[in-house]
Structure 1
């Protein structure tokens, strides 16, 4: 049966063996990942490159010169202690007697010497300075002082004196002779060796306690990361199934290009999934490395405390402190802020449509919770705060601002009926340009504006006055008129919106109580949807219109105090009148955000309300003294709300 390894041998084998050459470290160097290897082993691993792949954690590390890496002082000190122990057990054998090594303590004892013969043995020249004890004396001494089993440490300046004191300035154990003779320690602050060793032991134990807590923490972090990975896999499968299901539902009416788009979406999803999976795996690998470092350090420190004398502890105390502080400073908390996979939103697939798109969920918990419960009729969102007011009664920058939109540059575009212009201001409210309409036989009255993907402006020019032109003006961003259309059909054009998926322009005809459809490319009239009344697809003086990502029409049926949601072909899908027991009163501007939430200007109630895509109330986004009779509304890509109101100003809420 193999002999059981001593603690010293176990430390030597487990902690002081290079993982490359499998021998005791020779001039160990520390890599940036905190793993240590022999200098020559690292030189071989590096070769002619400027990188080294750590054999333990497999990280690719930039190392230009191995010799410039920081040496592992703790490992070197531990090797010195081990070699000192080996030296005392083997090389400094007392040659004057037959000795026996205690199998646990390593103390040399003379099993056969009698009490009477021991004093004579100490007078022999070869053993005059040796400690001679019988087995019985050793046992008795160990009961009163366990340090009797530890190797005595002699002063480096006075070889025949034991270290009993500790120099605070030099941070080394010394003997009493160092205080009376000319030495480097004269005049320094000196304290009892045992006292400082006890203090250091307490510090070390406290640090080990902290390391144990961090070890527990990193284990918990690994569990959390594992759950994240499991959740990510489930999320990936759900998104994949959602995409595939939507694809199967529309496969009969789509062309081969839709299949290519499906593959593109799945590829993007797979790329996002793989990226997030690798991020979490990398983080888990870091936790493994940190756990290994913490476990190794704890084991090493515990064994160091167990097998070292006070002098040995204090000899390496400085480097030990550095090592402990480095380990304590490790970040072991789980990073649970990984983004989830982008949400897939199905598109209203047509020959010119798209299969769907990804939208990254908002980070804040309120918006995220609202997004998850989008079908809920009572979702909760925080109200918006007034960020900036542009214009007003005093500045007269605007006269009668009505419809508002956002162009492709992120600028705010306002149809100012009173000034007979379309005004463009940046997000800070600074004027950029004006579109003025001259050379017309009749006054131009801009009511609303829609912006195409190529930054062309479609402007409704309408009035209840019989002599008005009542048309749609199309111009570029510099005001150059491209086309005017709709004069034959339109009685009083008001709101306007563009469906870029099917290439149709929708114009609300206030006086005709309907919606007119025109081809965007040719400006050709297609048909009208709706008529006067209170039923489905009936309107009473409708005002504004918006289009969501599915191509659905959101129309403010102002005279009926309601919002109607229609399909892109003009079929009524559903109607809502506001909150339960708190209905709209003269609803005007409507808009949608990237999540298809619906915003409604409730004119007479002085508020802008937010509803989900099914018409369920979410919150009063804007209300109170911050707004007065809101008319037009638009939502920016970053979620800000732009509102025109009766105080001749444009307000920005965030």
Structure 2
């Protein structure tokens, strides 16, 4: 059976959902408003402030937004008159509920008679005798009196006089706030406008005109916030569609893998297993990306909806004076909504395909290769690679009191956070971006990452999914964005030590060896191909299915494609040795070069086909490894410091 719905149950729910203080969970008493438009009992806020009386900042218990107290006093906070009026009106209606009429007593005399009516002007329930007194006394005969029956039936709607309250001036208690200063964005009394706002620069207008202007500004910001909400929802829908395509392509890929594997099951069972594990790993990584975006966007939409509801309720129920008094808070809250953005997930993450092999099951195709190559070639032909001008932006030499001993390798996450490997200390350091108050302050917040899972880290890099790859002895350890170990795999070559690694746009991993080898791996750790090189490989980078590498002992810059075909091999100044190498987003190659006569390297630039363009940075320190951040900064691991250009 359905639960019966009574007037009492409905009123209880309304009171609980809308008229109870979130702190004490009792009905509001003297509701007081914070900057975020959330209200609480004045006494509750007073007690909250007493927990840290020297702090002039109050954190909202609901949304954690900060409100600054004037003179460190809770009394400076504005009263929520619209909510106070609602509590008053609700309390009266509650007293007038059917079956409770006889329990309402006269509030105008001491005889405890049953009330028969309510004087709207006195705001009292009155008995028959007091009603007659109102009608007989000339001073009271203008008062409006309604019977309980009229109020109970709804023929007459009770409206609290609190709604008609016009605030008084804090400086001149005998005057009301009846003028609005556009310059100061405050309500003022007549005397204050003469004494404090007489300057011609102050724009003074009447309440009706100021109210119309405020409503117009609020309406425009509400429209922008709604548009922002629509944009976030569009991003959610796009991510949802892309995920559906991913689900479909994942299922079809698994089916194709199984069909091919069934033909040669006896000899390729292990390869099938590896491919499915790799597909599952890619699938899980991408699903996590979609789910993270969906959760973020859902949270954003919910917050926008809640804030719009609060603003709409305020604009509907508040008086003209309240609206103008809280104009700045309304504008600030709505302005924050218009700046929110949805998290957009690239549709390319939905692409997952299987390509059959002639002598093996085949391989996973993680991106649309033909389209990517065509776009890359077209873009490469259009670009003119010229020498770039770089300036030192920041140099970090220590974390707190801990100095770098050997900053050997660097990488950057998608949010421009830089992670540094100190080879001598066997430790990782993070340089987290922060807003600097002035140009003399650091734009990064250094932090030591105490990871005990590393034994002998050699080099590191970051992939497109913000996973950190670290060569540790003869293993590759993979950490998530919180620097927690995600997974790890052993390197196929166990006889010689690796020297460097890099990942490409499809998250394929290349590992270089001083023993003149390069090994190419799938994201899950299965070996794709082994390359033999003419020189030892000390540093390498990947760009559009090309491997570009350098050697400290050589005087050349080399490049091969993923099939082992030579792309170029160019001479570097014979007096110099090459160290770190990386590419920018357009394919220009940057190499740290050392002439052996000083402790200062220089950064030289080459075109994507290996042609020398020029020296971009002179005297960049004892540089080893270099990389680019997503924002375009060039980061140099210079042994005793990390330099950012």
TM-score category of the 2 structures, normalised to the smaller one: 0.3 to 0.5
Name which one, 1 or 2, has greater alpha-carbon Rg: 1
**TM score, norm. by length of structure 2:** 0.41
**TM score, norm. by length of structure 1:** 0.41
